Amino acid sequence: MDAIDRRRLLTSAVLGTAGIAGATALGSLAPEAAHAAPAQLGVDPLADDPNFAEGRVTGIKDAMLLVTGSDTVLHRIQVTSGTSIWKLHPTTFEAVDVGDGLYARGVRLGDGTLAADSLWVNIVSMSVQITAIGNGWLHLDHGGSRVVGHVVPGRTAAVYRDAPTTGDLSKLRVGRHVHIIGAWRPDTNEVDLATVYAGTVAG
């Protein structure tokens, strides 16, 4: 089954245009069923979460990422077809490069490998002040250092207070303090902007 067929299948499952074996419509998903097995954190507050890893990619071998943590711990991260990969937007394994920074969440296997459920590549989150706005970019002041935020049309979104998130960035003003989520361009002071929270604090 190729990716197109798969999408067609999933689309018809959720929109109910065809009967799919194994699909569960919302109505039959009772809350009790959903909460039958509550998420087990099971991590000592002071201990490192074994199911989490962060660091810079130092090597890629097949579907395995070799990652050096900021505390110099080495991680091996196994990526599968069920792993979500975020790099400014949902993407595929090919988009991950050596030198990228990442956060990974998954399940630690017996041999120490982390089988990743989710990867967030080069993600950054910071509170900044807008110091200038230009055609396709924002200059941002982050504790005295300048960060260049690139606007990616169709991807960069803005949240103005409680209004629905929008692609309209024309309400941003110089001097405003905002919170940004973005994808860092490794070893630069540049960020591709994912979401700009203006007038709210990102949770």
Partner 1 sequence: MTVLTAAQPLLLAGVFVVSARVKLTGRDARRRAAGTALARLVGKDRAPLAYGVVGAVEAAAAVLLLAGGIPGVPHRIGAVASVALAAGFLGYLLYARLFAPDSSCGCVSARQSPITWRSYARAGVLLAAALAAVSAGTAWPAVLAGRPYAAVGVVVVEGVAVLLLSPEADERWLFPLRRLKTRIRPHPLAGLAYDLPLASTLRQLEASDAYRQVGTRLRSDVLEYWDEGEWRIVSYRADADATAVFAVPRLRYDPGAVRVAVVDDPEPVPV
Can you give the binding site for partner 1, defined by CB under 8 A? 1, 3, 6-7, 9-11, 13-16, 20, 22-26, 29, 31, 34-35, 37-39, 63, 79-84, 86, 89-90, 92-93, 117-118, 120, 131-136, 143-146, 151, 153-157, 159, 164-170, 172-175, 194-195
For 29-52, give the DSSP string.
--HHHHTSS-------TTS--TTE
Instruction: Please give the angle made by the CA atoms of 65, 67 and 71, to the nearest 5 degrees.
Output: 165
116: β partners: 106
Please report how close the Cβ of residue 125 comes to partner 1 at its closest, in angstroms: 13
Which CA distances in Å does 68 have to 16, 100, 121, 158, 198? Answer: 45, 11, 14, 33, 34
Residue type, 31: P
Nearer to partner 1, 57 or 79 (CB): 79
Q: How far is the CB of 68 from partner 1 (least distance, A)?
A: 22
Say how far apart CA 109 and CA 78 lie, in whole Å. 10
The DSSP bridge pattern shows strands 137-142 and 90-91 to be unpaired
Of 73 and 136, nearer to partner 1 (C-beta) is 136
- In a 13 Å sphere around the CA of 166, the CA atoms on its Cβ side amount to 11
In whole angstroms, the minimum distance from the beta carbon of 165 to partner 1 comes to: 4
Smaller CB separation from partner 1, 56 or 160: 160
Q: Closest distance between partner 1 and the C-beta of residue 173, in Å?
A: 6
Nearer residue to partner 1 within complex by CB, 38 or 46: 38
Return the number of the residue (21 or 46) whose C-beta is nearest partner 1: 21
Shortest distance (Å) from residue 150 CB to partner 1 = 11
